[in-house]
Structure 1
Amino acid sequence: MFSKISQLRIFVTGIMTIAICGSSCIDSVFGTFKNISLNETADRNALRVSVDFSCAKPEDAYIEYWPNGQKDKLLTTPVSTQKTAFKIVLTNLKFNATYQYRIVLTSGSLKSHSDVYSFKTNDIPDQLLGLYHVRESDEQALPTEFKEGSMLVYNRETPGFIGMLDYQGTLRWYQRFNNTGVKVAHFTQNKTILSILAPMDYPTSYGNEILELSLAGDTIFHLKKGEKDFKQTIHHEILVNAKNQYVTLCAEEKVIDLRAVGGKAADTVKGDGILVLDKSGKKIWSWSVFEALDPLKEKNIIKEAKDWMHANSLFIDTDGNYIISFYNNGQIWKVNTANKKVMWKFGRGGDFALPKGAEFDQGHAVHVNNQKTLMLFDNGTSKKRSRILAFDLNEAAKQASLKLQVKLQEGIFTDRMGSAYLIGDNTVLSCVSKQNQVFLTDKNGNILWSMMCANTPYRVEFIPFGKSNPYIGQL
């Protein structure tokens, strides 16, 4: 795809001190480029290109690049510091497009650059064609925030796939997997993508691998079940906390004598827990529903023993404690990380009186949004109609007030999965999983934008370009 570039002597331009120092001063500041080449990445990703080169001595370097003939759309990579051998990956590219680039060395206010070279990216892989189709888009009504970000999508079947799409449905970033599906993926505060992976013999959103990737495609962390302290199957959620530790939901099993409620002397009850691992794979903290509830006191435990609570989302609150949602009992809990006690239960039969009309069946993608309210996607199984809810919780007084209710239009419904996130202050991005659809609506449920998915999306998360720059931004 790319040809090797011959050895090149670098030149300093635009610096007033050049005339004073002369060429001997320049040579003392910067060395010589060697072995410059432009290469495909190891996975032959059409939206990532690697510029490889070396210098005679340790240097700070980055790449400037732009669409052919459009230097006003200049892009830059992060600076790689004090290296002699460089491998700098270019991102934020288009398929089947020609670009120009040059290497820049920097030392304080002094800069030097190579000649300008060009390359052309490959076309979109056949596997990714037709996966997403924008059906409806009211350009004038779309908020600026929505146009200035991307949506994180993934395929849970094999071959697996993680992608980031803009509002036009254009694929801006992707990663493919051959023998495993992507059960869930999350964009982190470190500009990485953290995911749970598993082959097809794992059910729904359960997995046996943790993988963290940089937006340049590098593997930051990879751990498989059975390695280090990763002993349990994990599911539905994977996050990075403020200490750069991995926080995930995990499956918990306990053998219990259930004869008193009509079961067996050694019945297995399958519940849920929270597992925290550090960067070495060591367990730092854990919690289990068995610490909070006695299965023998649950009236439906015989029926639900194989999937007792079914935790489906996890969020780290601003105070560092965990908010966890359960599908089967329609509740959301807050768990104290210091003493492992349940601080409150919200939802069906919980500690808060729900405002009239705000009762929800099940909650998915529970989180605290940018307006500091507790937001969730309500499947609405009893009404066969899904909606989005947000509550202001007075935790001390155990009082709740409804701050947002978006009823999706008649016929738009998913009894499992789903997500909803605020875009700006007045629109909501909703994933209606079982209908393979994603919607942007106003607060009255009016559809401003919609997209069809060829696969079943578990959740669609929105990432502003301000959080993904310089790797993914405006084209």
Structure 2
Amino acid sequence: MFSKINRLRIFAIGIVITALCVNACSEDAFSTFNNISLDETVDGNSLRVGVQFSCAKPEDVYIEYWINGQKDKIFTTPVSIQKTKFKIVLTNLKFNSIYQYRIVSGSAGVRFQSDEYSFKTKDIPDQLLGLYHAGAKIQQELPIEFKKGTMLVYNRETPGFIGMLDYQGDLRWYQRFKNTGVKVAHFTQNKTILSILAPMNYPTSYGNEILELSLAGDTIFHLKKGEKDFKQTIHHEILINSKKQYVTLSAAERIIDLSAVGGNKADTVKGDGILVLDKYGKRIWSWSVFDALDPLKEKNIIKEAKDWMHANSLFIDTDGNYIISFYNNGQIWKVNALNKKVMWKFGKGGDFILPKGAEFDQGHAVHINYQNNLMLFDNGTSKKRSQILAFELNGLTKQVSLKLCVPLPEGIFTDRMGSAYMINKNAVLTCVSKQNQVLLTNKNGDVLWSMMCANTPYRVEFVPFSKSKPFIEGF
């Protein structure tokens, strides 16, 4: 883990290729691999190394690599198809370690491989030392699923940072940013990391950039506020839908005459919305709370005009409609993605009668879990005790049943932010933001594992190796 890394480190000075490639097959069948060199990534990332080379004719090529002395555990990159010039990035590396690799091509069941070469990775950057301290309380009770994946973390302040950590607290992937913080980040169904970025003059979880990165470090999509149809400040959430469009929460403002309720004739009311952009930055769809509610009919509108509802999470349901949560009124809505109508409201004053003992104050990181239940992290501000809840909802009959209630240990509480995601049917990964803690608990709330963070984590998502391989997988 970060806290145990020896500061008396031996840095790798350059990367040495230890052998020359020899063409061991007829050139009628395969091209020779030429001009082989290793290239540091643009930001000098210690956990990514690029291998550059060329072939005389188009080939399908990949690279096999392994830690020196561990040839029984070979990692393989995705295949680069029909190229003559290549730059293949090796990921899933360890800091300050010697690796061997070989280039492989083949077709029709015939394999051609280069000789073996070696390189040494650099050590962990000073900026990332000591950020996370992980430790299991009951090692033997840790679910095997938890050991087979990583946690997505990020730093919202400048300099920004996105990382993926294993259960031992070891960094398995990272990306750094100089002049922006990372307001939120998600691992997508496309094996990419999608984030909202912003400099320090943007508050809390609000941002002015959308950035999607591949796990090889390539920029898939990057758009700044003011470009194309990206005109509004965005916040708290960024997702990709099934059409590969970008879905985010956005700020919405209206100038409204509030004099009838004690305000001014031209007051600014700040609400929230949903913005959908395509891969070219064109607005495809949008919605705001002003489409659903009249501010003049809200009893606390004068007090809340500067932050009327405060949407804090967004989820695309299995039917393609949107589930959006609001901090200020303690409600969760389902919004139709076609006609923009609110399909139901769940929570305080909503359409469902909550089971006794299942009331919640605010919901964060609201989503549909793998058991098809609505799951949320309840800040528990009225009780000063946070909990995790999951409900089975019937949107037609408005019936609800409580499926999961995990009270966090007494004294474990965060009145803002936070997240909770199921690892399996018996274990939950929870981010307790304001106490700078990440916990793995069982369904009774007993702590099996914990991690302290030097920064304040907004959310912590779990990414199984099955979803991130071959870029990140078990050693």
How far residue 239 of structure 1 moved from its aligned partner, in angstroms, is 0.2
How far residue 9 of structure 1 moved from its aligned partner, in angstroms, is 3.2
Cα pair 1:7 1:35 within 8 Å, conserved: no
- Do structure 1's residue 30 and structure 2's residue 30 form an aligned pair? yes
- Do structure 1's residue 437 and structure 2's residue 437 form an aligned pair? yes
Structure 1 counterpart of 2:109? 109
Cα pair 2:20 2:115 within 8 Å, conserved: no
How far residue 119 of structure 1 moved from its aligned partner, in angstroms, is 0.7
Structure 2 counterpart of 1:9? 22
Q: Distance in 1 between matches of 2:100 and 2:67?
A: 6
1:450 aligned partner, one-letter code: S
Structure 2 counterpart of 1:226? 226
Cα pair 1:389 1:406 within 8 Å, conserved: yes
- Do structure 1's residue 282 and structure 2's residue 255 form an aligned pair? no
- Do structure 1's residue 155 and structure 2's residue 168 form an aligned pair? no
Structure 1 counterpart of 2:322? 322
Q: Distance in 2 between matches of 1:340 and 1:5?
A: 62
Cα pair 1:6 1:35 within 8 Å, conserved: no
How far residue 7 of structure 1 moved from its aligned partner, in angstroms, is 5.8
Q: Distance in 2 between matches of 1:11 and 1:341?
A: 66
How far residue 10 of structure 1 moved from its aligned partner, in angstroms, is 2.5
The DSSP-based 3-state class of the residue aligned with 1:296 is helix
1:469 aligned partner, one-letter code: K
Q: Deviations over 1:309-363 (max 9, x none)?
A: 0000000000000000000000000000111000000000000000001010000
Structure 2 counterpart of 1:299? 299
Structure 2 counterpart of 1:89? 89
1:189 aligned partner, one-letter code: Q
Structure 2 counterpart of 1:20? none
- Do structure 1's residue 363 and structure 2's residue 376 form an aligned pair? no
How far residue 8 of structure 1 moved from its aligned partner, in angstroms, is 2.7
TM-score, scaled relative to structure 1: 0.96
Cα pair 1:5 1:37 within 8 Å, conserved: no
How far residue 27 of structure 1 moved from its aligned partner, in angstroms, is 1.6
Q: Distance in 2 between matches of 1:391 and 1:236?
A: 23
How far residue 6 of structure 1 moved from its aligned partner, in angstroms, is 7.3
Structure 2 counterpart of 1:17? none
1:382 aligned partner, one-letter code: S
Q: Distance in 2 between matches of 1:68 and 1:5?
A: 13
How far residue 276 of structure 1 moved from its aligned partner, in angstroms, is 0.3
1:396 aligned partner, one-letter code: L
Q: Distance in 1 between matches of 2:215 and 2:459?
A: 20
Cα pair 2:152 2:461 within 8 Å, conserved: yes
Residues 131-170 of structure 1: pairs in structure 2 closer than 5 A? 131-170=131-170
2:437 aligned partner, one-letter code: Q
Residues 119-138 of structure 1: pairs in structure 2 closer than 5 A? 119-138=119-138
- Do structure 1's residue 47 and structure 2's residue 47 form an aligned pair? yes
1:142 aligned partner, one-letter code: L
- Do structure 1's residue 420 and structure 2's residue 420 form an aligned pair? yes
Structure 1 counterpart of 2:4? none
Q: Deviations over 1:353-403 (max 9, x none)?
A: 000010100000000001110000000000000000000001110011100
How far residue 135 of structure 1 moved from its aligned partner, in angstroms, is 3.7
Q: Distance in 2 between matches of 1:66 and 1:10?
A: 22
1:74 aligned partner, one-letter code: I
Q: Distance in 2 between matches of 1:368 and 1:10?
A: 53
- Do structure 1's residue 337 and structure 2's residue 331 form an aligned pair? no
Structure 1 counterpart of 2:210? 210
How far residue 424 of structure 1 moved from its aligned partner, in angstroms, is 1.1
The DSSP-based 3-state class of the residue aligned with 1:309 is coil
How far residue 137 of structure 1 moved from its aligned partner, in angstroms, is 3.5
Q: Distance in 1 between matches of 2:23 and 2:271?
A: 62
Cα pair 2:105 2:111 within 8 Å, conserved: yes
1:439/1:55 CA distance change after superposition, 3 Å: same
Structure 2 counterpart of 1:454? 454
How far residue 109 of structure 1 moved from its aligned partner, in angstroms, is 1.1
The DSSP-based 3-state class of the residue aligned with 2:141 is coil
Q: Distance in 2 between matches of 1:193 and 1:235?
A: 16
The DSSP-based 3-state class of the residue aligned with 1:302 is helix
Cα pair 1:6 1:36 within 8 Å, conserved: no
The DSSP-based 3-state class of the residue aligned with 1:71 is coil
Q: Distance in 2 between matches of 1:75 and 1:7?
A: 22
Structure 1 counterpart of 2:200? 200
1:265 aligned partner, one-letter code: K
Cα pair 2:17 2:119 within 8 Å, conserved: no
The DSSP-based 3-state class of the residue aligned with 1:86 is strand
How far residue 421 of structure 1 moved from its aligned partner, in angstroms, is 0.3
Query: Which stretch shows the higher mean deviation, 49-58 or 101-110?
Result: 101-110
Structure 2 counterpart of 1:187? 187
Count of aligned positions: 462
Q: Deviations over 1:40-71 (max 9, x none)?
A: 11110000000000000111100000010111
Structure 2 counterpart of 1:347? 347
Q: Distance in 2 between matches of 1:255 and 1:338?
A: 27
Q: Distance in 2 between matches of 1:100 and 1:337?
A: 50
- Do structure 1's residue 469 and structure 2's residue 463 form an aligned pair? no
Q: Distance in 1 between matches of 2:182 and 2:18?
A: 38
Structure 1 counterpart of 2:9? none
Q: Distance in 1 between matches of 2:127 and 2:338?
A: 47
The DSSP-based 3-state class of the residue aligned with 1:466 is helix
Structure 1 counterpart of 2:246? 246
The DSSP-based 3-state class of the residue aligned with 2:457 is coil
Q: Distance in 1 between matches of 2:106 and 2:468?
A: 24
Cα pair 2:22 2:115 within 8 Å, conserved: no
Cα pair 2:385 2:413 within 8 Å, conserved: yes
Q: Distance in 1 between matches of 2:423 and 2:429?
A: 7
Q: Distance in 2 between matches of 1:316 and 1:260?
A: 38
Q: Distance in 1 between matches of 2:258 and 2:136?
A: 53
The DSSP-based 3-state class of the residue aligned with 2:183 is strand
How far residue 5 of structure 1 moved from its aligned partner, in angstroms, is 7.0
Cα pair 1:182 1:195 within 8 Å, conserved: yes
